[in-house]
A = this chain, B = another copy of it.
Amino acid sequence: MYIPKLHEQPDLHALHALVRSHPLGTWATQGDGELIVNHVPFVLDPSRGPYGLLRCHVARANSVWQLFSRTVPSIVVFHGPNAYVSPSWYPSKQADGRVVPTWNYTVVHAHGIPTIVDTPAQLLEHLTELTASQEGSQAVPWRLSDAPAEFIEQMSRHIVGIEIPIARIFGKWKVSQNRSASDRLGVVAALRNNADAQSEAMAGLVEQTPRQ
């Protein structure tokens, strides 16, 4: 991924926070001479290795677990908020008109070589963790043990666990760092005016991130 210095997010805590808040990863790998891309929720274990370890599972019917490259690192993309930015939002447009549209977004790219986790005990541990990571915010968190054990065991036979130790991790925060203070205020006001959660999240990022 092309990351100009001003859009680089070097803070591992910020990268991990985005993975946790947007856990549906876009997993790209090579296999059988083609690209293979799938979408699965991940759980991050930040305690493993220098950058953490990602765990997920796929349907056993999904051939990616047989085909994924064991030599070329996979890339798992986690997408934070994104929003179109109109040049009309920049007060500086009035001065000389030397402005163009852009698109703000935040993404994390985790690179690593996947391995298969296929013992029933490890798979059950992964499913328990994944459930806990998503149910924490529910009024009455559902737990794996709420379902009959034989049912979970039966479902588990239809999935394959995957672990990806993160060898390299990159964050791109494209959040108007290159604009003047007044242009940034214009962007924040217009995004808030969109009145949706994603624009609101992007407005917050533009506010929080210092100009570079």
B-binding residues in A (CB < 8 A): 1-2, 4, 24, 26, 28-30, 33-41, 58-59, 61-64, 72-75, 77, 79, 82, 84, 86-88, 93, 96-101, 103, 105, 107, 109, 130-131, 134-135, 138, 140, 142, 146-148, 151-152, 155, 172, 196-198
Q: Write the chain B residue with the least CB distance to A127.
A: B100
Q: Show 11 residue pairs from A and B whose CB-CB distance is below 8 angstroms, ordered by the A residue.
A: A30-B30, A35-B35, A40-B103, A41-B84, A86-B134, A86-B142, A88-B140, A97-B151, A98-B151, A101-B131, A101-B142
Query: B138 touching A86 by the CB < 8 A rule?
Result: yes
Whether B98 contacts A63 by the Cβ 8 Å rule is no
Contacts of A98 in B (CB 8 A): 147-148, 151
Known contacts A2-B62, A79-B79, A146-B97, A35 near B28 by CB under 8 Å: yes
Taking CB atoms, residues of chain B closer than 8 Å to A87 are: 142, 146-147
Alpha-carbon gap, A84 to B24, bound state (A): 9
Residues B37 and A105 in contact, CB atoms below 8 Å apart:
no
Q: Which residue of B lies closest to A139 (CB)?
A: B88
Give A107's nearest chain B residue, CB to CB. Answer: B39
Quick one: which of B138, B152, B198 contacts A198, CB cutoff 8 A?
A: B198
Cβ-neighbour of A73 out of B34, B73, B130, B140 (below 8 A): B34
Q: A64 touching B101 by the CB < 8 A rule? A: no
CB neighbours (8 Å) of A39 from chain B are 1, 82, 105, 107, 172
CB of A164 to closest CB in B, whole Å: 13
Closest CB of chain B to A39's CB: distance in Å? 6
* A36 and B1 in contact, given A147-B97, A197-B197 (Cβ under 8 angstroms): yes
Known contacts A28-B35, A34-B73, A72-B33; is-contact A135 B101 (Cβ 8 Å): yes
